[in-house]
Structure 1
Amino acid sequence: MPNEGASRENESLPDGLDMADKAAFQVIVLGPSGGPREDAVTGLLVRSTSSQWSMGSVVAVDAGTLLGGIIRTLEQYIAKSEDGKAIMKGGPFIGLELPHMTAQANAAYIFREVIGAVLITHPHLDHLSGLAINTPLVEAGSGPKTVAALPSVISAIKNHMFNDVIWPNLSDEDGGAGLITYQRLVEGGNPRFGRGEARGYVRACEGLLARCLSISHGRCRQKYHPETGRHHRVGSSVFTGDSLMVPSRAISVDHTESGVYSPIRSPALGVGKDTSFASVESSAFFLRDHNTGSEIIVFGDIEPDSVSLEPRNKHVWEVAAPKVASGCLRAIFIECSYNDDVDDSSLYGHLCPRHLIAELKVLAAKVVDVQNPGHSLKRKREDERISSREPTSGVSPKTTRPQAYVPSKFSKRDDTPSQRSGRSGTGSRVNSTDYSGEIPELVHDEATPSLPDPVDVGDDRSYGGDSLMQSEVLWADSERPPLTGVSVYIIHIKETLSDGPPPGDRILQELRAHGEAAHLGCEFFVPRRGEGIWI
């Protein structure tokens, strides 16, 4: 995580308001990390700039960090005016009228009245714990807080957290206190709502619409059953295994670290389906500004399709591609938990730079298809031709790992803040340390691990195979790369809590190097805790 005590740029009121006038979204990063610190785990606030901080004008996406993050951010910028009232002198909450004097009281007001709903991508504690601890505050508000998620996520929250065992039942179901109300979202969007480009979207808060798509986050032995509304152990009487398969107990003897969530067993790698595991369901939220039609995507924890039991990312990119091509999709918030030193068997349902770039290349190829319909038809025929082939034996469990580019001391990257802010379609950042400026040269010594060597791969078709390579050739010669104008914000970085550079430094360097080599055109940023981002 960047140094939070460093000087910040563009915090003045005039600059902030000018950016707000040009932006469709403001995203406040309450928690950008994936642990192990409990005070900075995943939590974002998102609002439409057209809503002007009205009641119910903000949606929280995940709530590992929520009220605590708001208090911490307010404390840095709250001041007393000449007439004795509290005002915001800067920071991401600039423009918000404060009804109270202290940061704590104003944070409680924001949580009760300004945040209209909480969207939960998946029910792991680092995305949910703040909601549980904070919910009793709702009692003094004007009504229940909406918690919106896929049915499997609501099921986990209801049965395993707000259940009068782990935490009181504060919901309005099963005789609970009624402080929160569950909204079960239709996976892929509800086609009965919305018109045109907004079809399938539902209201998230004042000025924002949302559409939720399912993605995979590793694997476990608990599977959601829609008829019972509960999670059951795979291999139980609810999910009876194939009688011809070896019983799960007989194959669940691998207690090594690599035996948990091990993607080596993935059918995508040609090994066959392991019926003792099920996919962990996570979510990607498309958030749409009702006023401008602009959109962003916020991902929960996500694994690459190449190692997943149930590859689902491809569908998200298919939905996103036309939006990128038309220029309405401005930013993607997505995890990249580890650097490229991690092996596939140790991803545990997460991404690293080589896999994130591979996923973005799939998106880029689909954008090229949208922009070149004739090429799309050619790709479809090629995919059909590839799918009819016999699988190649000896497929490697690794995906392509490009050699990272290390800037020499004689080279200079053309990505200073002033140069970036003038680019069309990229998100401008306010009150932030310039974490995304020129990256220093890595020194290959004991303190800084060397970048990974290229890894040979087999015929991995999880990312599109030969047809994807054809698309890469098509966009490599283009003056405008396919993802130009898209800003990619990296969240859920796993902190090492050790001396030396923050893990985000290494991850950002690898992403930029791989992205440049792939000629994608998008820009990568690692936001810090308490940062406000105008998009």
Structure 2
Amino acid sequence: MKKSTQWFRHFIAQSCRFSFLFLLSFPVLSVALYAQNSKPVFTVIPLGVKGGGDESNLSSYLVAPAGDSNFICLDAGTVRAGIQYAIKKGIFKATPDYVLQNSIRAYFISHPHLDHLAGLVINSPDDNSKPIYGLSFCLSTLADKYFSWKSWANFTDRGESPQLKKYTLQEMTIGDFYKIDKTSMQVAAFPLSHSTPQESTAFLVKHDDGYLLYLGDTGADSIEKSTRLSDLWKTVGPLVASKQLKAVFIEVSFSNDQKTEQLFGHLTPDLLMKELTRLADFSGGNAFLKHLPVVITHQKPGGDRERKIKAELHRANTSGVRLIFPEQASPIQL
């Protein structure tokens, strides 16, 4: 398919019965005002946004350059259900299998918890060949625990025999950018702490001169006794200062009343805002964070928790970041 700068792309494959249409003219949440007079660099389609409680709406985000239809999938807790909802809303015009096979070019899995990879595993029989990227700890668990013949067919090129080799497990080196085949994006990985001894990953996506930062589950440095978030903020701080970082996707799983010993490597609104203060320190001050899109992921349903999280975030937002609460199958332009 050829890349288009138009607001929509129409692709007809003569070898397929179905056409695929990704509608950038479909109503989207646009936050491109962060950098005045700039055009959107990325389009994000959330396939799932929650941190549990609904297997049809778990962490999974399709990312492509604006105007393109070659996506990477950042985490894959929910895949098919999100695609089906996007089809129902008119974002994709094709079958779910066609979108699965022809629109997702690679997976990036932050950590091997089921709410971040169940959709990938369960849909693997209908998927086609593509890479799964991640840090060593994540890919090892994928091969040893999930794509083993004890729990599921081994669709990867690692682990138990026979290896069906549909998926190539691509181990990433921390901080190095990897060019993603069939896309115009590059991605680098950075480690996160997710309740010792658990680990997680942040992915920094690059297209042209623009960047998007996606964090898997993470605890605050102060609680995790870690410097991993601080190290990440130091890396991306210059990109914030130069307005090249178009958005930060970061979790807030619990409201502020969650007990520290029951956070299990997650953030609250107060903890997030303290971390953003550290990001400001590496970016030149709060003035550089003003209007930076911060997309709140992985809220855990339960009672009125989501309402409380939203209210607490708005009250504590002294840096003036642009808080975004994503919805399943509602595209975001950044």
Question: Which range, TM-score by smaller chain?
Answer: 0.7 to 0.9
Matched, 1:531 2:330: yes
How many angstroms apart in 1 are the aligned matches of 2:255 and 2:73?
A: 28
Residue of structure 2 in register with 1:314 after alignment: 230
Q: Do the aligned residues in 1 keep the contact of 2:237 with 2:283 (CA within 8 Å)?
A: yes
Residue of structure 2 in register with 1:161 after alignment: 146
From 187, 192, 209, give the equivalent of 2:186. Answer: 209
Residue of structure 2 in register with 1:521 after alignment: 320
Distance 1:211 1:156, change over 3 A: same
In structure 1, stretches of 5+ residues that fail to align are 1-10, 78-92, 101-105, 190-199, 220-278, 369-474
Displacement of 1:481 in angstroms is: 1.7
How many angstroms apart in 2 are the aligned matches of 1:284 and 1:326?
A: 20
Residue of structure 2 in register with 1:146 after alignment: 131
How many angstroms apart in 2 are the aligned matches of 1:362 and 1:69?
A: 34
Residue of structure 2 in register with 1:492 after alignment: 298
In structure 2, stretches of 5+ residues that fail to align are 1-22, 33-37
1:472-503 per-residue CA deviation (whole Å, 9 max, x = no partner) reads: xxx5xxxx72302310010100001x4xx5x3
Query: Which secondary structure state, in structure 2, belongs to the residue aligned with residue 22 of structure 1?
Result: coil
1:16-66 per-residue CA deviation (whole Å, 9 max, x = no partner) reads: 69999931100111111101211111111000114x32xxx1000001001
Distance 1:357 1:298, change over 3 A: same
Displacement of 1:180 in angstroms is: 1.0
**Which residue identity is paired with 1:202?**
K
Displacement of 1:208 in angstroms is: 1.2
Displacement of 1:527 in angstroms is: 1.1
Query: Which secondary structure state, in structure 2, belongs to the residue aligned with residue 363 of structure 1?
Result: helix
> Structure 1 stretch 168-177 or stretch 352-361: which is displaced more?
168-177
**Which residue identity is paired with 1:282?**
S
Displacement of 1:521 in angstroms is: 2.5
Q: How many residues align?
A: 305
Q: What TM-score results when the alignment is normalised by the length of structure 2?
A: 0.86
How many angstroms apart in 1 are the aligned matches of 2:30 and 2:257?
A: 41
Residue of structure 2 in register with 1:507 after alignment: 309
Distance 1:133 1:17, change over 3 A: closer
Displacement of 1:159 in angstroms is: 0.2
Matched, 1:76 2:89: yes
Q: What TM-score results when the alignment is normalised by the length of structure 1?
A: 0.54
Q: Percent identity?
A: 30
Distance 1:38 1:515, change over 3 A: same
Residue of structure 2 in register with 1:170 after alignment: 155
How many angstroms apart in 2 are the aligned matches of 1:488 and 1:66?
A: 23
Matched, 1:347 2:263: yes
Moved segments of 4+, more than 4 Å? 14-21
Displacement of 1:311 in angstroms is: 3.0
**Which residue identity is paired with 2:329?**
G
Distance 1:68 1:12, change over 3 A: closer
Residue of structure 1 in register with 2:210 after alignment: 294
How many angstroms apart in 1 are the aligned matches of 2:170 and 2:39?
A: 32
Distance 1:39 1:334, change over 3 A: same
From 185, 198, 202, give the equivalent of 2:172. Answer: 185
Residue of structure 2 in register with 1:481 after alignment: 287
How many angstroms apart in 1 are the aligned matches of 2:289 and 2:107?
A: 29
Distance 1:17 1:360, change over 3 A: closer
Residue of structure 1 in register with 2:76 after alignment: 63
